[in-house]
Amino acid sequence: MNIGERVSQVEERVLAACVRSGRAREDVTIIAVTKYVSVQEAAAVIKAGLTDIGENRWQNAREKWEALEIQAEWHFIGHLQTNKVKDVIGRFSFIHSLDKLTLAEEISRKAVSLDTVVNVFIQLNVSGEVSKNGMKPEALIPFAEQIRDLPGIRIAGLMTMAPYEAVPEETRPVFRRLRELRDELNATNIYPYRIDGLSMGMSGDFEIAIEEGATFVRLGSILFSNEI
């Protein structure tokens, strides 16, 4: 199967999940995660219609970003160290991995210096797995208050990674919890704007995530791997 055919198949499954859960297709954005693929494959996925691209390290993204910058919207989805913020700001319009105050402050400082505002997702470790990045759910509201007045960031939403489950259905409680946490955040009125974004769902579980309200799904292997 070529990339165009894979994209069509994924599109059908995304649409079906939207229909099943009474959601509009345009409320879900597919991020094509190109971290393991070449510039050529990334170009092909953009040509096939997926113009949101996700990368987890600037080092790996650089060649693709330089070749394809203006053709796509760039999402930084990997763990971000404070000293790497300078590589990302001005290039990526979304950061999906905000998980501490010093990082928020650095992102904001850098964004202000470039006269831009960065959309950030607060990453939460909903499942509690020790191997996962992200803040504890209990820390969300105090954290949201701490970062509220930083001028260079806009809270786009919440992000999580579900544990790998052989049975995708078992990820559902994690996605549902992230949606509830977003609703709890909105109910506090800490922010003057409504926060809609939920970045959740990967190749193995994106349909469940969509049924639970995902607005961004991050798909890598299902688009690019020959094994699926």
Ligand X SMILES: *Cc1c(COP(=O)(O)O)cnc(C)c1O
Could you list the residues that contact ligand X (CB under 6 A)?
A: 33, 35, 56, 77-78, 161, 202-204, 218-222
Residue 40, Cβ density class (10 Å: 0-12 exposed, 13-18 middle, ≥19 buried): exposed
CB of 76 or CB of 143, closer to ligand X: 76
CB atoms within 10 A of CB 46: 19
CB of 85 or CB of 223, closer to ligand X: 223
Find the shortest distance in angstroms from Cβ 201 to ligand X.
9
CB of 33 or CB of 147, closer to ligand X: 33
Find the shortest distance in angstroms from Cβ 155 to ligand X.
18
Find the shortest distance in angstroms from Cβ 57 to ligand X.
10
Find the shortest distance in angstroms from Cβ 43 to ligand X.
19
- How remote is the C-alpha of 54 from its chain's centroid? 8
**Looking at beta carbons, which pairs linking 97-105 to residues 24 or more positions away fall under 8 Å?**
97/121, 97/123, 97/133, 97/159, 98/122, 98/123, 98/153, 99/123, 99/133, 99/134, 99/135, 100/135, 101/143, 101/146, 101/147, 104/146, 104/147, 104/150, 104/153, 105/150
CB of 161 or CB of 185, closer to ligand X: 161
Nearest-CB residue for ligand X: 220
Find the shortest distance in angstroms from Cβ 123 to ligand X.
9
- How remote is the C-alpha of 173 from its chain's centroid? 19
CB of 185 or CB of 214, closer to ligand X: 214
